[in-house]
């Protein structure tokens, strides 16, 4: 049992603290495989009837909560659930030996088959099959959804959250704590973009129980049991001393919506435009016309300034449906990013040519860069393709350790580089960036990462290559100051952080940023590095 005032350490996401009541999310288990019952037919029928009643109540509850139009859907589903013919069919299944959950699933499937193939019912079919799943889950005592409260102020606690989970976050979710997961986990990225304070990789949170009041203190990288708002670690309140930051702050985008939203921030252009979205969701190869239209629209909407476009970054873990991408044992280390130029050179050329046309139509300044470059010769190959396709500034992502040692060989080949710190950490520390228990290794304040970054900035300066950082770490205002101190020429942050990063970089001059970086370089642990930076910054903010 955790006592009042207990401090649970983790990695903070966000700049403001929040308190709320703990709501533990139970991990969902898979449904058991179809099974026979032990001979108690009336018992199975009773179990089934109870479960139908429970799910029916659940639907009534959802109908009440939903607006008028959705309420009708839940009412229709409830009527289907209570269908007597369905119950009769399920009882027949029980009579032939199947246990209650299997019997109900089979009965629903009988009707689903009758209804399938008719476009009028296609949408309903998924709903009806979902009903069967809900009933089966109820009998097994398995919770399928997160069942998050709709009202109140809750801090949800779980192992880690998948995209399906985070999609269920309600407005009552004011804070998030994950036992596993690191700073680049899906949970961290979503919480950052939705401005939900979170502490991830917080192993002691396993002991938190429902109903306990906690303070989520991301700036302090901790959770305080029964903590008061006044216990929150103060984010350094940077005071902008000039109107312009010491280096430009750009925004990361991935879609038209992002581009529009980013243009409402103070971002100076786009430092990372991820182009995968256009392809990952499409089952056929988009025509050049379609690519040109999408890119033109996005380029036109993006915030003023240069737009750095990353060519397709896909791999067998993020497959593009229309490219043949065989399953790989280690997708993070496989044929991904620019390595696709082997089997799919024409596709990358298509993309570059579409971007050139969009560049002309939008009249914007476009820089293009290739992901997953491990050799200078690959950079040369990309630069040739890109310069042949259009009038771009040409660059590469620096995310493999090997390319760091080849920066001198990039002289005259590329105009710029951009560091993807998430993948650089993954490859530098040999730690899967999505692995739930490797959060510590992926902490951007790790001395080894700081030294690698500093080496990159120094090497680029020596050969006059423009350098930027576009990983998640550049969304942390204090870390962005350290990056500027190292000599990077720009940073690119997630949209919600552009303002905060910009203010931090406007609060000091380059020599002060360099002092902070030099002090941080002396740190022997990630905690020490972060504390040194924060202490120095607090002094400046005075």
Active site amino acids: 186, 470
Nearest CB to another protein, comparing residues 106 and 184: 106
CB of 83 to another protein, least distance (A): 5
Neighbours of 174 (CB within 10 A): 17
Quick one: CA torsion of 224, 230, 235, 238, rounded to 10 degrees? 180
Q: How far is C-alpha 120 from the geometric centre of its chain's CA atoms?
A: 36
User: Can you tell me the distance from the alpha carbon of 87 to that of 100, in angstroms, rounded to the nearest whole number?
Assistant: 11
Q: Please, are residues 465 and 410 in contact by the beta-carbon 8 Å criterion?
A: yes
User: Can you tell me the distance from the alpha carbon of 510 to that of 500, in angstroms, rounded to the nearest whole number?
Assistant: 18
Place of tokens 């040409």: 394
CB of 118 to another protein, least distance (A): 5
Beta strand 213-217 with 18-24 is: antiparallel
Three-state DSSP class for 204? Answer: helix
Nearest CB to another protein, comparing residues 120 and 230: 120
CB of 526 to another protein, least distance (A): 56
CB of 123 to another protein, least distance (A): 9
Beta strand 18-24 with 154-158 is: parallel
User: Can you tell me the distance from the alpha carbon of 275 to that of 511, in angstroms, rounded to the nearest whole number?
Assistant: 36
State the DSSP code for 119: T
CB of 36 to another protein, least distance (A): 25
Query: For binding to another protein (CB under 8 A), which residues are involved?
Result: 72, 75-76, 79-80, 83-86, 111, 114-115, 118, 120-121, 124, 128
User: CA of 59: how far to CAs of 64, 69, 138, 262, 512, in Å?
Assistant: 9, 14, 13, 39, 60
CB of 71 to another protein, least distance (A): 13
Residue from 113, 94, 1 nearest 45 by CA: 94
Nearest CB to another protein, comparing residues 77 and 424: 77
Residue from 34, 5, 398, 518 nearest 224 by CA: 5
């Amino acid at each position: 049992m955790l006592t009042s005032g207990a401090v649970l350490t983790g990695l903070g996401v966000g700049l403001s603290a929040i308190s709320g009541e703990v709501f533990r999310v139970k991990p969902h288990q898979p449904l058991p495989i179809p099974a026979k019952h032990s001979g108690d037919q009336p018992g199975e029928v009773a179990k089934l009837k109870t479960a139908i009643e429970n799910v029916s109540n659940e639907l009534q509850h959802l109908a009440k909560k939903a607006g008028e139009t959705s309420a009708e859907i839940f009412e229709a589903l409830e009527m289907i659930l209570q269908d007597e013919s369905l119950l009769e069919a399920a009882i027949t299944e029980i009579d032939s030996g199947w246990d209650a959950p299997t019997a109900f699933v089979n009965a629903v499937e009988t009707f689903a088959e009758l209804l399938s193939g008719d476009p009028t019912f296609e949408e309903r079919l998924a709903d009806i099959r979902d009903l069967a799943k809900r009933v089966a889950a109820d009998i097994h005592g398995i919770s399928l959804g997160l069942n998050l409260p709709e009202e109140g102020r809750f801090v949800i606690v779980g192992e880690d959250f998948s995209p399906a989970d985070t999609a269920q976050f309600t407005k009552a979710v004011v804070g998030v704590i994950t036992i596993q997961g690191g700073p680049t986990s899906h949970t961290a990225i979503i919480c950052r973009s939705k401005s939900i304070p979170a502490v991830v990789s917080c192993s002691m949170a396993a002991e938190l129980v429902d109903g306990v009041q906690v303070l989520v203190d991301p700036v302090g990288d901790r959770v305080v049991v029964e903590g008061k708002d006044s216990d929150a670690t103060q984010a350094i309140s940077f005071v902008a001393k000039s109107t312009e930051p010491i280096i430009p702050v750009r925004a990361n985008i991935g879609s038209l919506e992002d581009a529009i939203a980013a243009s409402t921030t103070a971002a100076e252009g786009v430092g990372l435009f991820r182009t995968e979205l256009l392809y990952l969701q499409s089952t056929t190869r988009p025509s050049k016309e379609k690519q040109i239209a999408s890119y033109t629209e996005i380029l036109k909407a993006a915030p003023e300034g240069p737009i750095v476009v990353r060519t397709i970054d896909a791999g067998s873990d993020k497959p593009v449906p229309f490219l043949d991408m065989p399953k790989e044992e280690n997708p993070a280390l496989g044929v991904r990013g620019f390595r696709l130029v082997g089997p799919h050179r024409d596709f990358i050329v298509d993309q570059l040519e579409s971007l050139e046309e969009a560049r002309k139509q939008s009249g914007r300044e476009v820089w293009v860069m290739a992901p997953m470059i491990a050799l200078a010769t690959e950079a040369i190959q990309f630069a040739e393709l890109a310069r042949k396709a259009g009038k771009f500034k040409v660059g590469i992502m620096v995310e493999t350790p090997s390319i760091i040692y080849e920066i001198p060989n990039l002289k005259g080949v590329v105009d710029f580089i951009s560091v993807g710190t998430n993948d650089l950490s993954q490859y530098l520390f040999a730690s899967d960036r999505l692995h739930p228990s490797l959060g510590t290794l992926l902490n951007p304040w790790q001395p080894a990462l700081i030294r690698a970054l500093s080496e990159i900035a120094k090497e680029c300066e020596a050969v006059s290559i423009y350098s930027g950082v576009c990983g998640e770490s550049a969304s942390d205002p204090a870390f962005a100051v350290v990056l500027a101190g190292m000599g990077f020429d720009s940073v690119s942050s997630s949209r919600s952080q552009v303002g905060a990063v910009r203010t931090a970089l406007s609060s000091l001059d380059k020599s002060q940023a360099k002092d902070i970086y030099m002090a941080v370089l002396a740190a022997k642990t990630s905690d020490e590095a972060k504390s040194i930076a924060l202490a120095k910054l607090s002094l400046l903010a005075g």
